[in-house]
A and B are shown apart, each in its own frame.
Chain A
Amino acid sequence: MIRVQREDFDPGAEIAALTRGRRDIGGVTSFIGLVRDMAGGDKIASMTLEHYPGMTEQQLAAIEDEARKRWPLDAVLIVHRYGELKPGDRIVLVVTASSHRDAAFDACRFLIDWLKTKAPFWKLEETSQGPRWVDAKESDDQAAARWRRE
């Protein structure tokens, strides 16, 4: 399940809703991404996430499908926010559930690595030096490349 929204989310409530009434799930892994207050030595006042309505949802759904093909997952949730966020605000939630922990851990890591390089979002930081678009990081490409299949 994927959601793209402006509003904040409650990680505990999301996980509870995802696993409610389920007796087959043995383990849940979650990742929560937050806005940092520093970037490249500059103070960040806010970060605005732009997205491509329609394509963003489609890409997140495709990433979920890929994870489900690779691991035996009982539940998947990706919630990604857009709009203006402040340091400390939640940006993204990834939850994976499986009967065994290895699949839940690996799939969660895979999903966040792929989100970084495949999900159509762009971040504009309002820094002490003025506004600045966040560049894609080579380290993110390398993290995603670990999961590539020839």
Chain B
Amino acid sequence: MKLLYFAWLRQKIGTAEENLDPPGSIATVAQLIDWLKTRGPNYEGALTNTKLVRVAVNREYVTYDHRLKPGDEVALFPPVTGG
């Protein structure tokens, strides 16, 4: 699974992009975020306040109950500030 991070999430986690293989028990976006938080204090710090974490799967906005598939591109980022 390809993970992408943007803005301060990228800075806090310390990378813009990584390939990870979450355990098979991880089925939803919410579970993926909980699993990521166990990967280290940098993830924990970036993902604690989920009100500030938006998610896109394969470049479409999704909610936390979205079900993930192998090979998905999952992006985590703060609320957008375009315009």
Contacts and interface: CB of A to CB of B under 8 A. Distances in A.
A33 B8 CA distance: 23
Contacts of A124: 7
Interface residues of B, number: 16
Interface string B40-83: 00000000000000001001110000000000000101111111
Contact of A33 (B56, B61, B80, B83): B83
A133 B83 contact: no
Contacts of B4: 52
A117 B80 contact: yes
Nearest to B79: A136
Interface residues of A, dominant DSSP = mixed
Interface in A112-137: 112, 115-124, 133-137
A21 interface: no
B81 A55 contact: no
B56 A116 contact: no
Given A50-B6, A120-B6, A124-B7, A134 B81 contact: yes
B83 A136 contact: no
Closest 5 CB pairs of A and B: A119-B82, A136-B79, A122-B7, A55-B59, A121-B82
